[in-house]
Each structure stands twice: as C-alpha cells, then as structure tokens.
A and B are shown apart, each in its own frame.
Chain A
C-alpha cells in the first residue's frame, strides 16, 4: 500500500520509494528510508496534508508526496 492509505492512528513500515532526483532526496532527508516506522497522526481538516510521526519528528506530507512511498501496514 501507499503511505497516504495509512489511517489515522495506524502504523506502517517504509518498503521503497517511487521517486527520483530531488523529490527522492527530499523524502530521504525527512527520514523516509526503507525500514522506517511511520504513524499517521491525523489528517488536516480538508483531508490533505496529513501529519505523520517519522523518526521522532512530526512531519506534514501532501498526498502526492505520501503517494510516492510504498509501505507495509504494521499492527502495534
């Protein structure tokens, strides 16, 4: 599944990125390397962007960005 499909409160682990160049770099810089645990904290009132907990920081990502990240759902 894609990262934007994680529901509020749920966790998933990053499997791969479907991005190249600067966007890929930016996602990696935010800590989205394969194996990273991410949690959907909440969606903004309009549904986009979504706030995620990534490696100890809260980071808002738009659907286009979270759509570039393949994740596996993780039960916690």
Chain B
C-alpha cells in the first residue's frame, strides 16, 4: 500500500469524490431514504455557502457546502436519497462509496419520523459500515400530526447511536444536531452500535478473512464490512480494491 500518512491518504481518497477539505475541516455526510429532508437540512446548515456539481463519472447531482459552529468550519456533503446501500443504482453506489471510501468524520442519517420502520433498513446498513454516525429523525411535525409518538431516548438506547429529533423546514433541532456533530468530531460523543451477527459459517469466514485483509490494506478501513462484501461476491468492491491497492 503506497500511502503512508493516514490522514493525507484519506484526503486523496476524498478528492476522488471531488470533496476537498483540509485537516482542520471535518467532513460530514448526509445520507437517508429519499424525501426525508436531507437537502432541507443541508440548505438550513450551509445557507449560501454551497455549490453543486456531479459526482465524478456519474450523472448524479452532488451538493457540498460549509457551515461553522463554535469556531470550527465543517464541510457538508449531501448524498443522494436511497433505500439501501447495496449499490444497485448509481445513487446507491455514490452514497455507499462515499461513506466507506471517503470516510466522513460523521455521517448524519436523516430519517422520516412518520415511517420510522422503513428507515431502519438503511440504518442497519450504515451501522455496518461506520460507527461514526448520528440519526437525525426529521419530519417530527408530520409525525405529531399523524399521532405517531416516538420514544427518542429508547430508540437511541436500542441503536446505540445518538438520535436528534428535528423539523428541518422550521429549523427546529438543528442546533442540537450541530452540537452532536461537533461532539462526535471531537471524540466526546461516542456510539455503541448494535451490529448484526451472522450465522456461524459466515462469522468463521469473517474471522479468516479480516486478518488477511488487514495485512494487505491496514487498519484504516472497516475490514469486517469489506470481508462481508467479498463474501457477497460484490464485483464493484473487488474492482475498487484492485484500483486502490494493486501496488
């Protein structure tokens, strides 16, 4: 593996996604199901400090911008809305690749409080990729209107992840969200994600693969997820590995 400096290595990888940031600028990704209010959160946080383009090599819109909170400037990247991260479409591929290879300092998953259950498929997929994420439960006003009551504390406890309720359209809860992002970036707000345990054969295969991947790739990536993708025979991931680590 050619890159020796871990942090500069990550910035090189981020630049492949057209996301440029220096070490002082933490990178925050916004992910979630379609139509949950990601762009509304993005616009409320970044205001006019944003620009749009395309994801490299894809006809998928990319929006990024910056916001400042308590003296730190953060770079925010709005990912396309997806129900899954299995890379069955260009949108899913972009979202998955950025969360995995771009290694955001924090991923904010924006969920729809009116249909919480439907959001959990993506939540568990993200949980497998990274422990550094926050669940922003948006559309709380709509949920209230539909008489949906959510026990935020219990949900947070069950997921092992901070949950921040918001009404992005009215900018409610966004200060709490920024506070949580800042805390996670500083390493003060930590998570205890509840990972999926698979059948014994799969767990044994993972125990076999992970140390072998580690000797080739190092510890920068979540190797358990990578090993799961290899067991899945995910050709896109195999191509990525060949492109990045063939020397």
Chain A interface (Cβ within 8 Å of chain B)?
22, 25-26, 28-31, 54-57
A residues in contact with B33, CB < 8 Å: 57
| Chain A at the B interface: SS class | mixed
Q: A29-B83, A29-B121, A31-B121 are in contact. Are A56 and B115 (CB under 8 A)?
A: yes
**Alpha-carbon separation in the docked complex, A31 to B33 (Å):** 12
Whether, in the assembled complex, B78 has its beta carbon less than 8 Å from a beta carbon of chain A, the answer is no
Q: How far is the CB of B150 from chain A (nearest CB, A)?
A: 13
Which chain B residue lies CB-closest to A54?
Answer: B118
Whether, in the assembled complex, B88 has its beta carbon less than 8 Å from a beta carbon of chain A, the answer is yes
Q: Is the CB of B115 within 8 A of A22?
A: no
Query: 5 pairs across A/B with beta carbons < 8 Å?
Result: A28-B121, A29-B86, A31-B121, A56-B115, A57-B33
Q: Is the CB of A31 within 8 A of B84?
A: no
**Alpha-carbon separation in the docked complex, A25 to B115 (Å):** 20
A residues in contact with B35, CB < 8 Å: 57
Whether, in the assembled complex, B117 has its beta carbon less than 8 Å from a beta carbon of chain A, the answer is yes
A residues in contact with B118, CB < 8 Å: 31, 54-57
Q: A55-B117, A56-B118, A57-B118 are in contact. Are A30 and B88 (CB under 8 A)?
A: no
Chain B interface (Cβ within 8 Å of chain A)?
33-35, 83-84, 86, 88, 112, 114-115, 117-118, 121
B residues in contact with A22, CB < 8 Å: 86, 88
Give the contacting residue for B86; candidates A25, A31, A56, A57; CB below 8 A: A25
Q: Is the CB of A57 within 8 A of B115?
A: yes
Which chain B residue lies CB-closest to A58?
Answer: B35
Q: Is the CB of A56 within 8 A of B112?
A: yes
B residues in contact with A56, CB < 8 Å: 112, 114-115, 117-118
Q: How far is the CB of A51 from chain B (nearest CB, A)?
A: 14
**Alpha-carbon separation in the docked complex, A25 to B83 (Å):** 11
**Alpha-carbon separation in the docked complex, A30 to B117 (Å):** 12
Instruction: Name the 10 nearest CB pairs between A and B, nearest first.
Output: A56-B115, A29-B84, A55-B118, A29-B83, A26-B88, A31-B118, A56-B118, A30-B83, A25-B86, A55-B115
B residues in contact with A30, CB < 8 Å: 83
A residues in contact with B88, CB < 8 Å: 22, 25-26, 29
